[in-house]
A and B are shown apart, each in its own frame.
Chain A
């Protein structure tokens, strides 16, 4: 595997001219008013990095432009759908999200601290788990598919009202053991290609792997509209894609390892702004 990376590093010299299409110094202001922190000092627990960067910084200028305006951002189509769903009464209790939570804007501050420990449920919960918890326990409605269209649209809505706020997930207290589990997974090599998350996203961000311009793998921008499949994508689906790309058997969406990984990776972005729904390739 060292051979692969060594060859890759040499070939990167061929790439740099092409990769110049990305403007890594650019700043992101959405709708000319929401300032997004796309680069900042790495959080203390992150020993191997000095600066953390949002995935936005690594994309081509055309892709970056798509996120600067809510009309241009194709991910906002799904947020509009979720806005409608927000007021839909569903389930045996005759409630909608709005009945308890008010307007979506009132949910600002929620996305930046997820995944987080839920005392009543005695577990670390991702936003999807919390939404389904509300649906089944409070609304008497059916669960949404974890990474299905309805859930991702709602995640997009919840992210959008927190844009500009710094990610701030707790890594201590009751969440600590999950966080440590996630950290261990992050640094474990998997699959036939024997790659860990860190091999690409910590050791080689900014370089190219084949034709891909590697980011730091931050998830402050999720859910993200990928140009590749022209729809919103969730964090855990993306993890599955990455793990599959190391030619490993991937974890299922929603299992403990995925929750742990999501918590840990989110904490690597503490300080970056919530950006979702973002636009990536």
Chain B
């Protein structure tokens, strides 16, 4: 009986330890995104997908040649964005925003976001896998 209790106790501690590891790391930054390709976009929000395991903010960016390119920028899960102040209501379609992040290694018009900047200067961190995306305090600098 005592051994059973010990076993159950150890098992429960193990489960809680596993659960305590932030379940954020669906995939790692370096596998999909390129640290040497920082992106700095400005455009109008076309779609906000606050979904697990990663959220996506889509914006239409007008290039130098006048062509509109729809960019998809990945952020953390909905709870992280919510904590940082991004909700469906805070980013209505059509809002003009700036997005800072790193482009996908594949060269697609996709990337991972560090932060959203509103035109009035407010910054909201995107809580994903990008370096610095958890906020200024947690910014690790160049790895």
State yes or no: do A and B come from one complex: no
Spell out A's residues near B (CB within 8 Å).
none
